[in-house]
Amino acid sequence: MKNQSTHLIHPNKRTMTAIIAVLILVAIIIGLSIAMQPQRTVENFCQSAKEEKSNFKANASYDKLLGSFKKLDAVAPEDIHPDTSLVVKGYESIARDPSEAVSSELGMSSSQMRINNYITKNCSNY
C-alpha cells in the first residue's frame, strides 16, 4: 500500500514527459491560432473593403452584406471595430427575423456612416 500511494504523489518519468509534451502541444496550438488570426490593421481593413466593394455598392442581399461586414469586422482596427461589430449584429438580427429589417437598419445607420467615412478617409485605393 505504501508503494502505491507514493506512486500517486510522485509520477514516474514517462508520465511527467507525457504531461510536459501535452502542455507544450497545447501552447503551440494556442500560439498558432493567435498567429493565424487576421491582424486588425488599416491596410487589412482597406483590402477587405475593396474585396467586398461590390456587395456594398449593389443591392446585395442581407446575407451577402452580413458576410461582407463579418469580413470587415474580423480585421477592423480598434477605432472602427465597435461600428463594424454593431453592423454585423444588426444584419444577424435581420437574417434571423426579416421583419426586424427597418428597426435594425435604423439602429445601424450611424455606424454605417462612420464606416463609410473611415473607408473614404483611410482607404485611398477603394
Closest CA to 49 of 32, 22, 70: 70
Domain boundaries, the chain: 2-36, 42-122
| pLDDT for residue 48 | 94
pLDDT top residue among 8 and 25: 25
Q: What are 64-122's pLDDT values in tens digits?
A: 999 999 999 999 999 999 999 999 999 999 999 999 888 888 889 999 999 999 999 99
Would you state the pLDDT for residue 60?
A: 83
Q: List Cα–Cα distances, 71 to 2, 18, 85, in angstroms.
A: 61, 40, 11
Angle at 124 between CA 65 and CA 91, to 5 degrees: 15
Quote the pTM value: 0.68
Q: How many CA atoms lie within 13 A of 44 on its CB side?
A: 15
In this structure, what C-alpha cell is assigned to residue 125? Answer: 485605393
Q: What type of residue sits at position 40?
A: R
pLDDT band at 21 (very low <50, low <70, confident <90, very high): confident
